[in-house]
């Protein structure tokens, strides 16, 4: 077995209900609304999950956590990530490193990035330095630029687990 690389992407529009919390990287962020989705709609974590599954050749998030499945209604995406890590481990892989970019006009994410990394690293089973989160805007272009939603894209490296 050898190191493998995966890419994941996820986008959700903002929810019409202002009471829905905005969760990114496992952190609840103050904002006027959260994102639409069957689970907590954490696009950052969903992009990581897709990248991990892709790197291992195990399909995508929709195959493992279908939106129509009632057990995933309002699910904590960090729990889905932990389950994905367990699946990777059964296939002989662990996480090497993760790099994520979030595209959002609002809210400003820089003040929350350290907290996101602190949530993600233990869920991924890696040191803090193996997790990088960046934020940018769409420069007011398109749906993302009109602040209609948020996009996250992730690149991951998975590594073979040591044989015991």
- Spatial separation of the C-alpha atoms in residues 94 and 138, rounded to whole Å: 33
pTM: 0.96
Q: Regarding beta strands 27-29 and 93-103, do their DSSP bridges make them parallel or antiparallel, or are they unpaired?
A: unpaired
Q: State residue 62 phi and psi, 5-degree precision.
A: -65, -30
What tokens appear for 65 in the block?
Answer: 């956590």
| Mean pLDDT along residues 28-36 | 94
**Residue written as token pair 């089973």:** 125
What pLDDT was estimated at residue 164? Answer: 35
Domains of the chain (ranges; CATH) run: 4-160 (3.30.1330.50)
Name the pLDDT band for 14 (thresholds 50, 70, 90).
very high
Name the pLDDT band for 76 (thresholds 50, 70, 90).
very high
What digits encode the pLDDT tens for the residues 89-125? 999 999 999 999 999 999 999 999 999 999 999 999 9
């Amino acid at each position: 077995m050898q190191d493998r690389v995966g890419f994941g992407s996820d986008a959700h529009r903002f929810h019409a209900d202002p009471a829905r919390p905005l969760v990114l990287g496992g952190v609840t962020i103050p904002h006027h609304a959260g994102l639409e989705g069957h689970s907590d709609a954490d696009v950052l974590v969903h992009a990581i999950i897709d990248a991990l599954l892709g790197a291992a050749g195990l399909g995508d998030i929709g195959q493992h956590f279908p939106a129509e499945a009632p057990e995933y209604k309002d699910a904590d995406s960090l729990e889905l990530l932990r389950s994905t890590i367990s699946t990777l481990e059964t296939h002989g892989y662990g996480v090497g490193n993760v790099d994520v970019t979030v595209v959002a006009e609002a809210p400003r994410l820089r003040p929350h990035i350290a907290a996101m990394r602190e949530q993600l690293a233990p869920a991924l089973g890696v040191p803090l330095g193996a997790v990088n989160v960046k934020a940018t805007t769409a420069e007011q272009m398109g749906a993302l630029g009109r602040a209609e939603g948020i996009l996250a894209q992730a690149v991951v490296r998975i590594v073979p687990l040591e044989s015991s």
